[in-house]
Chain A
Amino acid sequence: MPATTTLPAPDVAALEDRAHALRRSMMEMTRGKGEGYIAQGLGIADCLAALYFHELRYDPARPDWPDRDRFLLSTGHYSIAMYAVLAEAGYLDPDELPTYGLNGSRLPMSTFDVTPGVEIVGGSLGHGLGQAVGMALGLRIDGRDSRVFCELSDGELDEGSTWEAAMGGATFGCDNLVALIDCNGIQADGPVTVAIEPVADKFTAFGWDTQEIDGNDMAALVAALEAARSRDGKPKAIVLRTTPGFGVPTLMGRPRAHFVRVGDDEWADFMAELEADRG
C-alpha cells in the first residue's frame, strides 16, 4: 500500500484538532505581512482538514502519483489555506510557510501549479470545475478509482464557465467528481451581489447529487464526504455554509472580510481569540 495519511475511521475530535492547527498556521503566515485572504482561509479550514486527514488518498512524497485523488482549489486566492494544509499533510516543509506571499516564494498569494500538491493554476475564477470534469474523465478512461474534489466559492458561481462545467459533469456522469462549494457570502466588493441562491437547488437541477451542510461542522463534513462516495452515475455537490474568519470572533464580525489587513497590535489579540475559541 502506498503511504497515506487517511484515517481509518472518522475521529471528529482529531479532525477538529487538525483544523485548529491549520488556522493557527494561517495566522502565523499573516504575521508580519499583516494582510491576506485569511477570512476565507479560516472559513474553509474544516473542509480541508476533513479532506486531507479523512477522505483523500495521496502520498506527499509523490505529488504526481497517478492513483492519487485530486484536490483542485479553484479559488486560488485561498492559497493561505492550501499551503497550511499542504504543510500539515507533508507536501511542504512548515519552515517554508513564512515565505507566503513574499517575492520569489513557491507559496505565492495566488496558487500556481509549481507548488507540490497544487493541481491547477487557480487565480482566474471559474477555471476549476471544468478542469475537474476533464480529470474525472481521464481517470475513468484509465480505469482508475481515484476521485477528483474541486473547491469553488459562491462568488465564483457568477462565472458562467462554472455552469458550463456543471452541465458537463452531469452529462458525462462523472460520479468520481465532488464539488465543494464554499458559500461564505462574500466577494471582492462585499456581500455576494448576484442572485445566486438557492445554490443547492441549482446544482440539483443541473443533475448533481447535492447536499447542503454547515461547512464549519466537522461531523457534518465527514458524513457528507462519506455520502458522496456513492458511485451512482451522478457527480456530487456539497454546499458548505461557512463563516469567514471562523475561529476568530472579531474577524467573523468584520463586514468587509474579502481581503483582511491585520495590524501588529491586533494580531496577538486575534491569536488569543483563536486559542480561546478552541479552548
Chain B
Amino acid sequence: MAETSVFGQTRGMGELIDLDGKETDLAPFGNELAELGRERPEIVGLTADMGRYSDILPFRDAHPDRFFNVGMAEQNLVMAAAGLAKTGKIAYCTTYSVFVTRRAYDFVAIAGAHSKADVKIFAGMPGLTNGYGATHQATEDLNMMRGIADLTIIDPCDATELRQVVRAVADIPGTVYVRLLRGKVPIELPPDYRFVPGRAALLRDGTGVGVISTGYMTARALDAARASLSSGVDAGVLHVPTIKPFDTAAVVEFASRFDRIVVAENHKKTGGLASLVTEALYDAGVLRPMIRIGLDDGFFECGSQEYLEAKYGVDLPRVVRALVDGT
C-alpha cells in the first residue's frame, strides 16, 4: 500500500488553505458581480457548467435574464460571450482555467482578443488550488495566455483585490483573463489597498532581499516576510497582479534596490512571472541573483493543496527558506 500523506485528502473545489486566523470573504467574485450588474445593465454572465464552482451563482440569481449556462462547451462559452459583446454587452464568463486555456485558446485569441471584444474571463482554480491533478490544474496558463496580443491578464491576491478587479475589468477595453479565487477567499491586503490595472504595488519595503510575487503567492510572500523578521531578514514585497501588460518599470525599480530577488508564483517557473521578471531585468541591465519559487515542468498529481504545495515546493516554508537561507 502506498504511503499516504499527513496533509489531509484531495479537495477539488479550489478553496484556499492557510485560512487559520484570517478573515475571509465568501464568494467575493459572484457577489461583487451581482452588485455591479445592478449598476450596469450591460453586464451579462455566462458559465460552462461551472456556475457553482466559479461562484457566479449570485449573479445568476440576481439577473436570471442576463445569465447563460452553455453547458460543458468552453469554445461556445467564449464565442457566445464575444457575440454578446459585439451587441454592446460586457460578457463575464467562467469556467476552470484549464478548460478555457487549453480547450478554447483559439477562441480567446481570435473571437476575443483580436476582435477587441469585451469578454471578461474569470478562470477558476489556477495552479495548485485544485486537487484533481493535471487535468484540472492550470499550471501553464499564464505562459499560454501571455502569448496572445491585446489580452489583459490579472492574477489577484485575495478577496479585497478580486472584488476590485471585478469592477475594474468592466472598464478595461477588450478581453481580460483573470485567475479566479473562489469559496472562502482570505482577506490579505490592507483596507486601503487599491488595484490599478497594469500597475504593480509595493506592499512592503525592506532591505537585502525583495520578493516579486503574483496571485495568492503574494499572501505567502507577506507571511514569509513577517516570519523572517525574527531571523533578521527584512524582505520587501512587490505584488504584480497584472501579468499583461507588465509593469516593467516598477519591477526594475524594485529589483534595483535589493541585493537579491525571490520570485513567487502559483505557476510553473517557466513562462510566467519569473520569466517576465527575468526578461525585464535583463533588458534593463539590472542583474540580481534570483530564486524562482514555482513549479518545475511536469504534470502534477491529485491531493490536498497542503500536500501538493509541500511536495512541489511552493508552500510557506519554501518561501521562508528562500528569504532566510537564500536557497
Contact = CB atoms under 8 A, between A and B. Distances in A.
Interface of A: 66, 113, 119-121, 123-124, 126-127, 129-139, 141-142, 160-161, 164-165, 167-168, 171-172
Contact of B115 (A120, A160, A164, A165): A120
Interface in B67-103: 68, 70-71, 73, 75-76, 78-89, 91
A127 B110 contact: yes
Interface residues of B, number: 28
Contacts of B89: 138, 141
A131 B44 contact: no
Contact of A124 (B81, B82, B106): B106
Contact of A127 (B70, B81, B111): B111
Interface string B113-132: 01100000000000000000
A126 B88 CA distance: 22
Contacts of A167: 71, 73, 76
Interface in B247-272: none
Interface of B: 44, 65-66, 68, 70-71, 73, 75-76, 78-89, 91, 106-107, 110-111, 114-115
A133 B83 CA distance: 7
Nearest to B83: A134
A118 to B, nearest CB: 11
Given A120-B111, A127-B111, A161 B84 contact: no
Contacts of A123: 110
A138 B75 contact: no
Given A66-B88, A135-B84, A164-B73, A130 B115 contact: no
16 contacts: A119-B86, A123-B110, A130-B78, A131-B86, A133-B76, A133-B83, A136-B83, A137-B83, A137-B84, A138-B85, A141-B44, A141-B66, A142-B87, A142-B88, A161-B76, A161-B79
Contact of A161 (B82, B86, B91, B107): B107
Nearest to A113: B115
Given A137-B68, A161-B107, A121 B83 contact: no
A172 B68 contact: yes
A177 to B, nearest CB: 10
Contacts of A121: 110-111, 114-115
Nearest to B106: A124
Given A127-B110, A164-B79, 18 more contacts: A66-B87, A121-B114, A121-B115, A130-B75, A130-B83, A130-B107, A130-B111, A131-B82, A131-B111, A134-B82, A135-B83, A136-B83, A138-B44, A139-B87, A142-B87, A161-B76, A164-B76, A172-B68
Contacts of A132: 83
Nearest to B46: A134
A168 B111 contact: no
